[in-house]
């Protein structure tokens, strides 16, 4: 203890640490509150027994605040250290090379699709208000794609599409709902046409992408897969766990080199089934394909794509008899009205109507393009030769309407020539059916079908170096349809309704009916 002449004895509190002495100037500057209350002459200090001197002084507050901040900082750092391993364990870029098992699954994508036969698809081309959406199915075994085209960016493509690897046919429907829906399982029979290819993105690119996802061949060796293929993560699609891979599509020919095409992301399940695909079309437009693997109805191609393939077999006895008697049966019927459907190329989606006479081997019809119904062409067939004339443009009319009888006067017909295109050959084939019997050994029965509310046998005639043709013969032995395989890989049809026909313009003297040939045994 110490004495002070200026005041009473001041105890030293045990709970307060004793600070080392400091210069008077620092003490006064640091503790300005004390300086304000101390007498200038070093007189008496406040009574040290006042509790507020120790508990509530400004220095005490400062030390408590600093201590609290230090504790808080220590706790925060500890929490960060504890949480850091979980966050840092997931690298910023999780991509890695494929394992051997993943590479095998990627290589098996095409053959797995082919073995599954079909799948539902929902394709989105582009983004936002310019996107086109396509909903329907792909059949890799046939192959066939059948889609409803919609979405805000569909434009003139809105409607239905059917396509094979060789040809694409569209059925435009500008009044269709903007939101696409699965197309009808029994497709409409009318208004299908070959569309003109657009300058930019087109339906053909989508069809090619879908059909390229299937292949009947054994998957290529893993060594042929792109070296840049990567595993990028895991996901779930419609409840199915999948691996997400990034790679060009695998080659579809065994032993071929890896594709150098654009990269896609593929959502692939443990059984090598593809559930989603995302990447660019050839023009760079983004495309996403969602596959509904359980949506697998049997698809029916439209007639222009050949119709249902059926099960080809040799002719039965009754079918052979009807085919042999066909020429005599048609000559006895005399003739028929005809309706033509012939998508020959994007600028000639032809429809037509008229008559043919099997007894006189003549035909007269008018044809026009569905895109230009005011422009029509008249054709005369006689004795295996064809002449034609273009009608002056007039009012729009049904291209399948029958031509005027008699023909308008003052027209200049072309010289008669042998059939020169698929249209001429189709009509000539229908006329020849009333003159020459088809050998049974060159024909197979594809299937039964229906046309004009009658059951028919579809007989395909296969002659080397000649286009394939089909006769649709009803059970009474009459010909109801003739089909000819055209250059674009489509089938042109001539529907026939046996009936009395008027006198047809021939441009020459009557042609005698061909004499019947003896039947072969």
SS (H, E, C) 351-379: EEEEEEECCCCEEEEEEEECCCCCCEEEE
Query: Taking a C-beta distance cutoff of 8 angstroms, is the pair 144, 164 a contact?
Result: yes
Q: Give me the residues paired with residue 341 across strands.
A: 351, 493
Query: Taking a C-beta distance cutoff of 8 angstroms, is the pair 243, 231 a contact?
Result: yes
DSSP state of 48: T
CA dihedral 195, 201, 207, 209 (to 10 degrees): 160
Give yes or no for a cis peptide into 406 (omega within 30° of 0).
yes
Query: Taking a C-beta distance cutoff of 8 angstroms, is the pair 506, 425 a contact?
Result: no
Q: Which of 199, 260, 201, 243 is nearest to 103 (CA)?
A: 243
| 6 burial level (CB within 10 Å; 0-12, 13-18, 19+) | exposed
Q: Which of 405, 403, 342 is nearest to 369 (CA)?
A: 342
Residue-level pLDDT at 71: 57
**Number of other CB atoms surrounding residue 197 within 10 Å:** 11
Residue-level pLDDT at 267: 98
Residue-level pLDDT at 178: 85
Which pTM value belongs to this model? 0.76
Token readout for 167 is: 């040809």
Residue-level pLDDT at 309: 87
The Cα-based distances of 230 to 97, 98, 136 in angstroms read 5, 5, 30
Report strand pairing: 96-97 vs 335-345.
unpaired
Query: Taking a C-beta distance cutoff of 8 angstroms, is the pair 475, 319 a contact?
Result: no
Residue-level pLDDT at 87: 29
Query: Taking a C-beta distance cutoff of 8 angstroms, is the pair 194, 488 a contact?
Result: yes
Q: Which stretches of the chain drop beneath a pLDDT of 50?
A: 1-56, 78-92, 199-200, 254-257, 509-511, 513, 520-521
């Amino acid at each position: 203890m110490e004495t002070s002449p200026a005041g009473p004895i001041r105890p030293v509190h045990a709970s307060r640490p004793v600070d080392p002495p400091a210069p008077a100037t620092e003490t006064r500057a640091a503790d300005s509150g004390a300086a304000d209350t101390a007498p200038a002459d070093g007189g008496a200090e406040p009574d040290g027994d006042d509790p507020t001197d120790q508990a509530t002084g400004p220095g005490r507050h400062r030390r408590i605040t600093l201590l609290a901040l230090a504790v808080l900082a220590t706790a925060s750092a500890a929490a960060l250290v504890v949480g850091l391993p979980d966050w840092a364990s997931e690298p910023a870029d999780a991509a890695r090379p494929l394992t051997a098992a993943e590479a095998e699954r990627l290589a098996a994508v095409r053959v797995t699709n082919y073995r599954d036969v079909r799948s539902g698809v929902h394709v989105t081309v582009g983004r936002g208000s310019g996107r086109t959406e396509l909903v329907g199915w792909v059949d890799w075994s046939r192959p066939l794609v059948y889609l409803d085209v919609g979405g805000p960016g569909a434009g003139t493509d809105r409607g239905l599409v059917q396509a094979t690897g060789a040809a694409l046919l569209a059925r435009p429907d500008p009044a269709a709902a903007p939101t696409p829906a699965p197309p009808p399982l029994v497709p409409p029979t009318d208004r299908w046409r070959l569309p003109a290819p657009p300058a930019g993105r087109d339906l053909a690119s989508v069809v090619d992408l879908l059909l390229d996802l299937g292949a009947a061949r054994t998957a290529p060796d893993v060594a042929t897969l792109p070296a840049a293929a990567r595993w990028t993560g895991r996901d779930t699609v419609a409840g199915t766990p999948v691996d997400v891979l990034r790679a060009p599509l695998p080659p579809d020919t065994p032993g071929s080199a890896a594709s150098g095409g654009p990269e896609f992301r593929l959502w692939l399940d443990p059984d090598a089934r593809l559930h989603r695909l995302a990447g660019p079309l050839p023009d760079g437009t983004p495309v996403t394909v969602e596959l509904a693997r359980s949506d697998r109805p049997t698809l029916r191609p439209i007639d222009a794509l050949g119709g249902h393939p059926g099960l080809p077999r040799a002719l039965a006895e009754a079918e052979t008899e009807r085919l042999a008697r066909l020429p005599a049966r048609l000559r006895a019927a005399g003739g028929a009205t005809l309706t033509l459907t012939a998508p020959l190329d994007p600028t000639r989606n032809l429809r037509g109507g008229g008559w043919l006479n099997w007894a006189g081997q003549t035909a007269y019809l008018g044809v026009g393009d569905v895109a230009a119904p005011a422009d029509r062409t008249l054709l005369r067939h006689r004795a295996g030769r064809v002449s034609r004339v273009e009608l002056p443009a007039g009012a729009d009319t049904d291209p399948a309407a029958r031509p005027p009888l008699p023909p308008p006067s003052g027209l200049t017909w072309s010289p008669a020539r042998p059939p020169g295109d698929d249209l001429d050959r189709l009509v000539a084939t229908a006329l020849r059916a009333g003159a020459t019997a088809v050998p049974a050994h060159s024909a197979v029965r594809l299937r039964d079908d229906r046309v004009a509310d009658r059951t028919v046998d579809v007989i395909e005639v296969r002659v080397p170096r000649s286009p394939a043709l089909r006769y649709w013969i009803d059970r009474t032995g009459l010909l109801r349809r003739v089909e000819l395989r055209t250059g674009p890989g489509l089938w042109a049809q001539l529907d026939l309704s046996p009936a009395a026909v008027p006198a047809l313009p021939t441009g020459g003297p009557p042609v005698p009916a061909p004499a019947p040939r003896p039947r072969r045994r």
